[in-house]
Structure 1
Amino acid sequence: MAASGQASRGLTALFKRGWNEIPEVIGSSVMAVIGIGLSVIGVSGYYSKDGDNRRYKMDYVVMRPDDPRVARIRKD
């Protein structure tokens, strides 16, 4: 019943044991989680600021001057 004793120690003991046995895997996993988190933040910021403005370049779009989307159009 050695497994039940290991399971009762919790996630912290599992992390410490993994760090002692395979530090490369644990370290790279932590960096991967940080990278995925930063990517999600970056992509959400990109789309919230209307970074993908290509839909106005593909087709001819007519907008009235009082349309609020007109302020976000760039002439790239």
Structure 2
Amino acid sequence: MAAAPSRGLVGLFKRGWNEIPEVVGSCILGFVGIGITTGAVYLYYKKDGDNRRYKTVYTVIRHDDPKAAKVRTD
């Protein structure tokens, strides 16, 4: 006699992995990719990643502007 199917999220994952492993594996890799992308975008904005070294438009920033402290001089 076969064992009773487990219930809950673990049982759903096990049944899905046995029946359609390609879809379950793709979903897991998709969630990992979304997580990595979210972390990368967070770090990009946290470290002021939009502070471009070379711009196409000349910009004047006053000395008392908060952006002036973030401007790179390299």
TM-score by length of structure 2 reads: 0.71
SS in 2 for 1:27: helix
RMSD of aligned C-alpha atoms? 2.5
CA distance in 2, matches of 1:75, 1:52: 15
Q: CA deviation at 1:38?
A: 0.4
Runs of 4 or more, structure 1, over 6 Å off, are: none
Q: CA deviation at 1:34?
A: 0.4
Match of 2:16 in 1: 18
TM-score by length of structure 1 reads: 0.70
Question: Greater CA deviation, 58-67 or 33-42?
Answer: 58-67
Structure 2 unaligned blocks of 5 or more:
none
Size of the alignment, in residue pairs?
69
Q: CA deviation at 1:11?
A: 1.1
Q: CA deviation at 1:73?
A: 2.0
Structure 1 unaligned blocks of 5 or more:
1-5
Higher helix share: 1
CA distance in 2, matches of 1:63, 1:53: 13
